[in-house]
Structure 1
Amino acid sequence: MSTTKVRYEAENGTARITLASPEDGNAISPRLAADLLAAVRRAKADDVRLVVLAAEGKAFSVGGDIRGFGSAENVEDFLDDLAETLHHAVSELYRMDAVVVSVVTGVAAGAGVALAAAADVVLAARSARFTLAYTGIGFSPDGGTSLLTASLGLHRVLHMALLNPRLSAEQAQAAGLVAEVHPDEELPAAVERVVSTLLAGSRTAQVATKRLLREQATPLAEGALRKETLSIRSCAAAPDGREGVAAFLGKRAPQFPSGQS
């Protein structure tokens, strides 16, 4: 399968899904989200044992397509459709009978963080950086960010979401987001070692373990994803959200109406 925004390859029980829009930092546009969902569903139909989710270029994903937000005729409908498509892909990654490994190089921002975290095992290059950044443009998080409270803890995620720090790969590992950090030049070999280890193991035990732990940690995942959609579409249409997008596109600091005395 070949698409403009996502590349899919499957061999020997492993599907490799690669975000392939490096010219815009793999921004999550409607096209990329749709292509991602199609690729994940293709992996499920191929009954692969392992999915490796990676990206081309200098960024894993810069997050949502803010230019698309700015040009949308109806930003609420645009965000609802976009978030729901992305959330379907995230839900499939959570529920599929395959171990999912994400490989983060460069920046993962906004929904890019949540997408990386949709994997069961997150590997990162030492140069990788992670930041949520939603509130910086007047938005609330989506992509499954709220589900990170189950793995990282409420107050750590609140800190990340409200103050928008940029975490190094080592800081993300210390927080519990990243499983392994490797020097950039050693990351490809490290990924292949993880792939080989997983493929040599018991698929029955791996699938049962994934189901057990994910159901215990996030039993209401799909409901949480829908709540994220409703929240982000509302924020995007509000004055603060419109100002945040305009400021981002205008390369200036936002002046949020709700913050003006």
Structure 2
Amino acid sequence: MASDLIHVDDNGVLTLTLSTAAAGTSLDHGLVLEARDTLRAVVRGAIDADAVLLRGDGKNFCAGGNVAKFGSADDRSDYLRGLADDLHSAIGFLYETQLPVVAAVKGWAAGAGMSLVLHADVAIGGPATKMRPAYPGIGLSPDGGMSWQLPRVVGAARARYIIMTDQILDADQALSMGILSEIVDDDAVEQSAYDLAAQLAAGPRGSHRAIRTLVHESATRSLTDHLAAEAATIAGLSVTAEGVEGVDAFLAKRKADYRGVR
């Protein structure tokens, strides 16, 4: 990992900073590539991490793609296809890590920034947090998985309405729709998101992976098949070191030490 904006700390939190104050906190292509390579290393076991924190290093989480670079590209189609492919590769590896993902959504999350928020398991914002699809405003269509994920969060009809009319969602609206998980004071967004990521990092890896997998796959399974998957998963986890530690700690009325049994 070449940048201090992308790193794993002693708590097992992999911080991925995807925008900076430069260029109006637009999505930084270089950081996207670094995040992709880092997540791929996690998948391959070359880097050890227990949770992921998505953040921006400016006043906004991410204000979307760098439209000025779109306009100056010699071949806009080729340029945008490359950007989309790189972002989508990073998102694919994010899912493949099977790690819990927390987003610190301060300020604006627009365009690809809003797409990234939708891929977090938990998204924490503040009263000043705002979201906007932004794509129709420049005559383009979504990327970053927005048109796949948003319908799963708010429903297809509402997703079409939000994207096609380029709705600006304030924090309360995003919370009520389930896009944000919690609203805290604006100056506490970063720390609250990090603290939660650290809490999840100290928790049971197997349980978190199973929860993410079960929830994601529930949309394409019948109830009967899903109940079978739940039964197999809980039985399998019960004999893992973390499963044994969790039950034993509960019976002994002590806090489980999941890191100690990894």
Category of TM-score, reference length = shorter chain: 0.7 to 0.9
CA gap of 1:13–1:106, structure 2 versus 1, over 3 A, is: same
Paired with 1:93 and 1:181, the residues of 2 have a C-alpha distance of: 24
Q: Equivalent residue for 1:149?
A: 151
TM-score (norm 2): 0.76
The counterpart of 2:188, out of the listed 186, 207, 228, is: 186
Q: Equivalent residue for 1:110?
A: 111
- 1:12 deviation in Å? 2.6
Where 1:11 maps in the other structure, the secondary structure is coil
Stretches of structure 1 lacking an aligned partner (at least 5 in a row) = 220-261
Q: Equivalent residue for 1:233?
A: none
Stretches of structure 2 lacking an aligned partner (at least 5 in a row) = 222-262
Highest Rg: 1 or 2?
A: 2
Paired with 1:58 and 1:163, the residues of 2 have a C-alpha distance of: 25
Q: Deviations over 1:155-189 (max 9, x none)?
A: 22111111112111111111111111111133344
Q: Equivalent residue for 1:27?
A: 26
CA gap of 1:156–1:29, structure 2 versus 1, over 3 A, is: same
Which range moved further: 87-96 or 101-110? 87-96
CA root-mean-square deviation: 2.1
Q: Equivalent residue for 1:246?
A: none
Where 1:70 maps in the other structure, the secondary structure is helix
Is 1:62–1:107's contact at 8 Å kept on the other side of the alignment?
A: yes
Q: Deviations over 1:110-144 (max 9, x none)?
A: 01100121111111122111000101111011111
Is 1:93–1:119's contact at 8 Å kept on the other side of the alignment?
A: no
Q: How many residues align?
A: 218
Q: Equivalent residue for 1:2?
A: 2
Q: In structure 1, what residue type is equivalent to 2:158?
A: R
Please give the residue correspondences for 1:1-261 in structure 2 after superposition, counting only pairs within 5 Å: 1-3=1-3, 6-44=5-43, 45-147=46-148, 148-217=150-219
Is 2:51–2:101's contact at 8 Å kept on the other side of the alignment?
A: yes
Q: Equivalent residue for 2:254?
A: none
Is 2:153–2:177's contact at 8 Å kept on the other side of the alignment?
A: no
Q: In structure 1, what residue type is equivalent to 2:3?
A: T
Q: In structure 2, what residue type is equivalent to 1:12?
A: N
Is 1:150–1:218's contact at 8 Å kept on the other side of the alignment?
A: no
Where 1:73 maps in the other structure, the secondary structure is coil
- 1:196 deviation in Å? 4.3
Q: Deviations over 1:90-121 (max 9, x none)?
A: 11112212111111111110011001211111
Is 1:18–1:54's contact at 8 Å kept on the other side of the alignment?
A: yes
TM-score (norm 1): 0.77
Paired with 2:195 and 2:9, the residues of 1 have a C-alpha distance of: 18
Paired with 2:172 and 2:145, the residues of 1 have a C-alpha distance of: 22
Is 1:63–1:109's contact at 8 Å kept on the other side of the alignment?
A: yes
